[in-house]
Structure 1
Amino acid sequence: MKQKKVIGIDFGGTKIKVAVIAEDGKIHGEEILLPTESNRPAKKIVATMQTGILKAVSSAGLKINDLDGIGIGSPGPLDLKNGIILDTPNLPTMKNFPLKKEISNLFNLPVALNNDGNCFVLGEAYFGAAKNASSVCGVTLGTGFGCGIVFDKKIYIGTTGTAAEVWCSPYADLNFEEYGSGRTLVRLYRQKTSDKLDSKEIFHLAQKDNSQAIDTFLEFGKNLGRILAIMVNLLDPDVFVIGGSISNAWEFFKTPLLENLNQNINDEPRAHIRVQPALLGDNSGLLGAAALLFS
């Protein structure tokens, strides 16, 4: 049986990544990376996306009519029913823009659009750390705190399409995002040293055995473990996947995360829950966008 081949697009405020992807997760041809230049008019951004699609198809030795569709992972919030980007800070010129319709009209192909956090988890559920699991939850830890939920290889979006938008949920004196993102590391390290470094610099210091940087990650892991415990008690997933740029420092916060998670969840999930970093690296969202057409 012939495998489906689709275009996957990881669409962000900084860059647009495009590739032809088959149902087995194999990338055909080149991954095309283009700058978003997000302050340009929306139509110009769409033209860049169109260029990326044509380049990806050409590099795979295919034609547009060889493809079965186009999947796009985009920052939210989104109107998923109508395929519209709503009011996204990273894409200021695309407010209320009908991206799904625009791309579908350009190529006369089915187009699927979903939140980039959801696409991250779907990619890992199909091809990565959770490919044998029936229920998966995941978080992306970077500038912000993204989350997604996948049951039986399908994204759970809830009644209004905003399921898993937990970043604003209250935790301690702030919220999930303020205790589970790169900003958390910056704040914690500054409290210890009065130095304002970014999360990557703090990671590099931890790799050099800097005690204050290591303590920062230990405290980060403690709070993140408690945050994930709330989600595990609610959703009871088989696998919890940790992604985003902060996951590169997994070894520095894994132990306190797991300790605090296990201390705060019920006996049954404690016995079976698997927590691990993403396996697909920067391509989780790209592959997940493609998998929107497979699920």
Structure 2
Amino acid sequence: MSIYTDKRIVMTLDAGGTNFVFSAIQGGEEIVDPIIMESNAHNLDQCLRTIITGFEQVKSRLPEAPIAISFAFPGPADYRAGIIGKLPNLPAFKDGGIALGPMLEDYFKLPTFIGNDGNLFAYAEAMAGALPYINGCLFERNVSKRYSNLLGITLGTGFGAGLVVNNTLCEGDNFAGGEIWLSRSIVNPAMFAEAQMSTKAIQMAYAQKSGNTDSRLMPKDISEIAQGIKPGNRSAALEVFNEVALVIAESLCHAVTLIDGIIVIGGGISGAYSLLIPKIIEHMNGTIQTLDGRHIPRLVSKVYDLEDKQSFEQFLSYKDQEVEVPFSNRKVPYESEKRIGIIKSRIGTNRAISIGAYTIALHRLPQHISTAEQDLKLTKSSIL
């Protein structure tokens, strides 16, 4: 069943360091006006009570009872168990080991699902965004090729990622899948990637290269300086984004050698896509040196920019090729070129995270109910 025809309601939360935004989704669409509340990030008791109050207010505005609660929350965390670890951006959780999911299940008597925002972003793009769009375009051209693997990355205050393998969210055995921010920076190998491409890193790099220490300049401003839209040191801004693109590109190279799927880019810095993508594509389609000095392609697959019309058409142009089966008159189809594409979020980053939370709840609810029923049977049998 499509999430857009599903009439069940799931309550959601966008958990930021300053504010919590509560809402509810039905049929893939938000059905109440968002409720914004201060997070009370420095006081655990107040923070937890704020979460309960926010969901209570959402529930009171719904046309019918919700079936679940599902939302993104910062990590580290044991997401399946709903237990939040030590969070740097929410000091209230500084000691870790907070059973947030079980608390909400006990209070609201509803299944509660908590996930990493990068994972939920990627899952939404796989289920209702980039993958359906790309596969639909292939279908329209009578091409049999279909994509079922996806790497979703978010470029903003941090460098996040989520992995979908064979249309299934891959969180990892320790719920630490997609930690791309810790990949090594190619520009400065002593540093991790996020340290050179986050909002703060871009601000610092531009200040250093341009001599302009105005802290009000955000990556959007610096990208507009690089494009000549705003006044400023254009050469310094271009140098900053070229370095950022190189850091992102090499991290993506390492990731797609394992994932081999479509790359979807979201987050605030994705607004500088036109600045970043040429350098990213150039690097990913570049070469790497062998032990004997030869140069071979950096990746097995060729990378296409799916936001560029001509590049997208080339990506979709799978030619029907057949090869003969040895010692037989039979021929079989053969895809001689391996292809992956990079595309911007088809849903929008914030909405994708909410859609991902909604979709996760719908998909995991039967399993959750089955597990709960089994636990109840075990409890009754132990009593008897």
Which residue number corresponds to residue 278 of structure 2? 255
CA distance in 1, matches of 2:223, 2:89: 25
Which residue number corresponds to residue 48 of structure 1? 50
Amino acid of the structure 1 residue aligned with 2:286:
Q
Which residue number corresponds to residue 285 of structure 1? 353
Change (3 A) 1:56 1:152: farther
Change (3 A) 1:105 1:37: same
Which residue number corresponds to residue 101 of structure 2? 100
- For the 8 Å contact 2:19–2:36, the answer to whether it is kept is yes
Provide, for residues 184-212 of structure 1, a one-character-per-residue CA deviation record: whole Å limited to 9, x for no partner.
Answer: 32233133212234423313423516523
Provide, for residues 192-235 of structure 1, a one-character-per-residue CA deviation record: whole Å limited to 9, x for no partner.
Answer: 21223442331342351652323322332133112211111121
Matches within 5 A, 1:33-72: 33-40=36-43, 42-62=44-64, 66-72=65-71
TM-score by length of 1: 0.88
- For the 8 Å contact 1:71–1:291, the answer to whether it is kept is no
Q: Could you say which structure has the larger radius of gyration?
A: 2
CA distance in 2, matches of 1:2, 1:181: 37
Work out the percentage of aligned pairs sharing the same amino acid.
29
- For the 8 Å contact 1:137–1:241, the answer to whether it is kept is yes
Which residue number corresponds to residue 13 of structure 1? 17
Asked if 1:169 is matched to 2:169, the reply is no
Amino acid of the structure 1 residue aligned with 2:193:
F
Change (3 A) 1:19 1:157: same
CA distance in 1, matches of 2:71, 2:118: 12
Change (3 A) 1:26 1:202: same
Q: Match for 1:158 among 172, 178, 187?
A: 172
Asked if 1:142 is matched to 2:156, the reply is yes
228-237 vs 178-187, greater mean Cα deviation: 178-187
Provide, for residues 105-143 of structure 1, a one-character-per-residue CA deviation record: whole Å limited to 9, x for no partner.
Answer: 111000111112211212222232334552111111112
Provide, for residues 242-293 of structure 1, a one-character-per-residue CA deviation record: whole Å limited to 9, x for no partner.
Answer: 1111112212212111221222542435442121122332222222222221
Tell me the SS of whatever aligns to 2:182: coil
- For the 8 Å contact 2:73–2:115, the answer to whether it is kept is yes
Which residue number corresponds to residue 233 of structure 1? 257
CA distance in 2, matches of 1:205, 1:35: 34
Which residue number corresponds to residue 192 of structure 1? 209
Amino acid of the structure 2 residue aligned with 1:255:
P
166-175 vs 67-76, greater mean Cα deviation: 166-175
CA distance in 1, matches of 2:358, 2:37: 18
Tell me the SS of whatever aligns to 1:279: coil
Which residue number corresponds to residue 35 of structure 2? 32
Provide, for residues 43-73 of structure 1, a one-character-per-residue CA deviation record: whole Å limited to 9, x for no partner.
Answer: 32222222322333344423xxx22211121
Amino acid of the structure 2 residue aligned with 1:163:
G
CA distance in 1, matches of 2:117, 2:25: 17
Give structure 1 regions of 4+ aligned residues with deviation exceeding 4 angstroms: none
Asked if 1:215 is matched to 2:219, the reply is no
Post-superposition offset of 1:176: 1.6
Tell me the SS of whatever aligns to 2:280: helix
Matches within 5 A, 1:91-130: 91-94=90-93, 95-130=96-131
Q: Which has the higher contact order (CA 8 A, sep 6+)?
A: 1
- For the 8 Å contact 2:184–2:251, the answer to whether it is kept is no
Amino acid of the structure 2 residue aligned with 1:194:
G
- For the 8 Å contact 1:179–1:224, the answer to whether it is kept is no
Unaligned runs of 5+ in 1: none
13-22 vs 196-205, greater mean Cα deviation: 196-205
Amino acid of the structure 2 residue aligned with 1:218:
N
